[in-house]
């Protein structure tokens, strides 16, 4: 019998302005070219659907999404680097897709760097398919990197 304590289940809740300090710490550590705090503030102000993923009152992940005319767009989905590899990204993605479906979305879309194999494998394993390519979409250390456009029916 194992005496190892169970890991607390993560909880999804709406993202708040008060989360931005913790969010920006994660964003800067997770990406070579992070979004700015101003971008996140604009998303909150504009009414994008923004989610926080908490575990033991610690922000471990977040997302920024948009729902319009039956289309759900995942604009940012991030898990803090030290919490990756534990299923939190999959939990967050599935939660987002379930929420979108219950709110009338028929299809979900996202962009991902081809070099981000971990994220790409997650999306493929959750039923997303490549439907397009955005040339030179992302900034990179060598200039620009393409984005794979992925979609799945809900």
Q: Count other C-beta atoms under 10 Å from residue 53's C-beta.
A: 25
Determine whether 62 is an active site residue.
no
Q: Is 116 annotated as a binding residue?
A: yes
> Which of the following is catalytic: 71, 111, 126, 130?
111
Answer yes or no: 111 catalytic. yes
The catalytically annotated residue of 48, 62, 123, 138 is 123
Query: How far apart are alpha carbons 149 and 131 in whole angstroms?
Result: 6
Strands (E), the chain: 11-14, 49-55, 58-68, 71-79, 107-112, 129-140, 143-153
Q: Determine contact, residues 72/43, Cβ cutoff 8 Å.
A: no
Would you please indicate which residues are annotated as catalytic (active-site) residues? Answer: 111, 123
Binding residues for acetyl-CoA: 116
Binding residues: 116
């Amino acid at each position: 019998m194992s005496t190892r304590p169970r890991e607390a289940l993560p909880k999804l809740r709406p993202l708040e302005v008060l989360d931005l300090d913790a969010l920006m710490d994660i964003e800067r550590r997770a990406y070579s070219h992070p979004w700015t705090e101003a971008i996140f503030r604009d998303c909150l102000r504009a009414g994008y659907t923004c989610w926080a993923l908490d575990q033991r009152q610690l922000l471990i992940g977040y997302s920024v999404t948009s729902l319009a005319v039956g289309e759900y767009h995942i604009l940012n989905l991030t898990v803090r680097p030290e919490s990756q590899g534990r299923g939190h990204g999959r939990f967050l993605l599935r939660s987002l897709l379930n929420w979108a479906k219950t709110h009338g979305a028929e299809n979900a879309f996202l962009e991902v760097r081809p070099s981000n194999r971990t994220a790409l494998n997650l999306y493929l394993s959750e039923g997303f398919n490549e439907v397009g390519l955005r040339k030179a979409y992302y900034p990179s250390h060598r200039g620009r990197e393409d984005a794979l456009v992925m979609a799945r029916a809900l």
